[in-house]
Amino acid sequence: MPENRTIEVPVLIIGAGPTGLLTANLLGTYGVECLVIERNQALTDQPKAILLDDEGLRALQAAGLAGEVMAQVILGYGARYYEPDGTCFAKIDAPVTEHGFPRRNSFLQPNLERSLLRGLERFQNVRCDFSTELKQFKEDPDGICATVTTVGGTLEIRSQVMLGCDGGRSTVREQLGIEMPGRTDSRDWVVVDTTNDPDADRFSKFFCDPERPMVSIPAPGGGRRYEYMIMPGEDPADLSKRDRVRQILGKFRTIPDEDMTRAVVYTFHARVAERLQAGRALLLGDAAHLTPPFAGQGMNAGLRDAFNVAWKAALLVGGKAGTGILGTYENERRGPIEEMIDYAVSLGEIVMPVGGFDEAARAQILDALIPARGALKPKPQAAYTAGWVMPGLGANQSLVGSALPQPLVCMPDGETWLLDNQLGPGFSLIGFGAEALEQIHALASGPLSTLSPTPFGLVPPGAQPRQAAFGTVLSVAETSPTPTPEVDNQILLVRPDRFVAAQIDPGRVGDVRNVFSTLLACKA
């Protein structure tokens, strides 16, 4: 930390967990200067989250870190569901999804955080300062002034945007006076992490036993996570003692002390902050919402927050949008956050039938989780109807506000890549059909030039990729597990977070300027 008493930085991030560190990496990728401050002396060494989903990997891909992270995870693990007598009654795979990655992947949070922290070293204008704690802040017409304490004393930090990524006990949320309503589960759980586990199965196991619901989850490096419910009348302190852990998990394995990484009691919450934004301050991750773990979406929801916010902050501090763009975060994320929490709560209630297990309970689980008897009911997918989107520019608006599918694509030189690797970190324009390709340069250099979008063409499997006057025409690989987006003779405006902002008919290109100007009235 510099010696002067006041510093200025466009974006100040409070908290160096996965959400804060990913946001900083994305801002660095966009060329935005930012500072992360963390009150602890170093990153956590606790396992915490264990599931990294397809959308989380896509966000890491945008930050240029997916390759490093994927080398450390178990990709594409499935799930098995067991009756009290040990009979497996449901099996679920984890296919590659529309995001280009498997839906369920096991990881170790300390490894992810270290990768994210190392990622910041790529950027001269991004820094993370530990042992630095936010004490207070205030907003004025020019931005936010935060007072922080460091090992060297007290400093003031002025920023245009402040992002509260400081966890469930958020100082930012507390000082903003924002309540976090919802509910806390009356049933606590013990979470046990092990190493050298003899169970090498690459799938989660849900033991739907009303006597004691339990879960077993694979972890990288030969480890495993076990979770079991604390039943009525039991003492949480007793249930997390090592001897009791060994006794309860004895049906699975013998655990010597050196193989038990931790055994802790977790209380599960389902809560959302009353507001995600107050002026130039935003709440992200656990500071904004707390999710039960049954869908593995707590940390992943924070990564989605980061992906949604980072490019908007970049437009703001770059002078291309005003503070109104920050309000689109609340517009877009609140609904999906609440829907995901409801999904996680429902999974917990269904998979752990504490009221008893019989044929009716079995059927309920199958109907809720596997309605097609073989395909897992997917987690909710965000679809933005309000926010930073421009509907109404074409006959087909099916993708507006939704994530762009990410197939494997072929380059003119014959190489094959995931689509996002070619789109780059910023905005993109993707043309489908000859008429759309003729208009794509006019859009990129005309009404949408403020965004500096990169133009591409995309043709179906079997068509030849080529170089065109405006840029590259990619073809979907015939081996792609993700199909071609269902678009015909249109141009897609794709945001940096890979959501489709607009579907534009070639004959409506002239209308884009007015609609776009209204959207950028976020400058107001």
Q: Taking 70 as the threshold, does the pLDDT of residue 220 lie above it?
A: yes
Residue 307 belongs to some domain of the structure: yes
**pLDDT: is 483 or 156 the higher one?**
156
pLDDT of res. 152: 86
Place of tokens 């003779």: 489
pLDDT of res. 1: 45
Residue 258 belongs to some domain of the structure: yes
Q: Are residues 422 and 513 in the same domain?
A: yes
Contact in structure between 53 and 47 (CB atoms under 8 Å): no
**Residue 294 maps to which CATH number?**
3.50.50.60
Chain centre distance of CA 221: 24
pLDDT of res. 522: 52
Distance CA 14, CA 172 (A): 8
* Tokens coding 238: 């007793």
Total structural domains within the chain: 3
Q: Taking 70 as the threshold, does the pLDDT of residue 4 lie above it?
A: no
Q: Are residues 195 and 314 in the same domain?
A: no
Residue 465 belongs to some domain of the structure: yes
Contact in structure between 299 and 344 (CB atoms under 8 Å): no
Contact in structure between 505 and 394 (CB atoms under 8 Å): yes
pLDDT of res. 439: 93
Rounded to an integer, the average pLDDT of 399-426 is: 96
Q: Which residues pair with 13 in a beta bridge?
A: 36, 163
Q: Are residues 93 and 230 in the same domain?
A: yes
* Share of residues in the chain with pLDDT > 70 (%): 93
CB neighbour class for 127 (10 Å; exposed up to 12, middle 13-18, buried from 19): middle
Identify the H or E element spanning 139.
strand 133-140
Quote the mean pLDDT of the chain.
91
* Cβ-count burial 490-510 (b if 16+ within 10 Å, e if not): bbbbbbbbbbbbbbbbbebbe
Identify the H or E element spanning 172.
helix 171-176
Residue 320 belongs to some domain of the structure: yes
Residue 192 belongs to some domain of the structure: yes
* Share of residues in the chain with pLDDT > 90 (%): 73
Helix, strand and coil in the chain, % to nearest 5 = 30, 25, 40
Residue 67 belongs to some domain of the structure: no
Residue 521: pLDDT band (50, 70, 90) is low
pLDDT of res. 271: 95
Q: Are residues 446 and 506 in the same domain?
A: yes
Q: Taking 70 as the threshold, does the pLDDT of residue 373 lie above it?
A: no
For 14, the 3-state DSSP assignment is: strand
**pLDDT: is 293 or 316 the higher one?**
316
Q: Taking 90 as the threshold, does the pLDDT of residue 316 lie above it?
A: yes
Q: Are residues 97 and 222 in the same domain?
A: yes
**Residue 480 maps to which CATH number?**
3.40.30.20
Rounded to an integer, the average pLDDT of 222-226 is: 94
Q: Are residues 196 and 261 in the same domain?
A: yes
Residue 47: pLDDT band (50, 70, 90) is confident
Q: Which residues pair with 150 in a beta bridge?
A: 153
Highest mean pLDDT among 27-31, 187-191, 445-449: 27-31
What is the pTM for the complete model shown? Answer: 0.94
pLDDT of res. 369: 64
Contact in structure between 384 and 498 (CB atoms under 8 Å): no
Residue 403 belongs to some domain of the structure: no
**pLDDT: is 318 or 363 the higher one?**
318
Rounded to an integer, the average pLDDT of 81-94 is: 84
CB neighbour class for 391 (10 Å; exposed up to 12, middle 13-18, buried from 19): middle
Q: Are residues 414 and 495 in the same domain?
A: yes
Residue 68 belongs to some domain of the structure: no
Q: Are residues 444 and 503 in the same domain?
A: yes
- Strands 203-207, 78-82: pairing is parallel
For the four alpha carbons of 44, 50, 52 and 53, in that order, the dihedral sign comes to: negative
pLDDT of res. 506: 93
Q: What is the pLDDT of residues 437-451, one digit of tens each?
A: 999 999 999 899 999
Least confident segment among 17-21, 102-106, 207-211: 207-211
Domain of residue 192 covers: 73-106+186-267+365-379
Q: What is the pLDDT of residues 109-166, one digit of tens each?
A: 999 999 999 999 999 999 999 999 999 999 999 899 999 999 989 999 999 999 999 9
Residue 78: pLDDT band (50, 70, 90) is confident
pLDDT of res. 401: 96
Q: Are residues 94 and 157 in the same domain?
A: no
Distance CA 462, CA 454 (A): 24
DSSP letter string, 430-460:
EEESHHHHHHHHHHHHTTTGGG-PEEEEEE-
Q: Are residues 452 and 493 in the same domain?
A: yes
Highest mean pLDDT among 45-49, 248-252, 292-296: 248-252
Q: Are residues 203 and 300 in the same domain?
A: no
Q: How many residues does the chain have?
A: 524
Q: Are residues 333 and 347 in the same domain?
A: yes
pLDDT of res. 380: 84
**Residue 203 maps to which CATH number?**
3.30.9.40
**pLDDT: is 209 or 55 the higher one?**
55
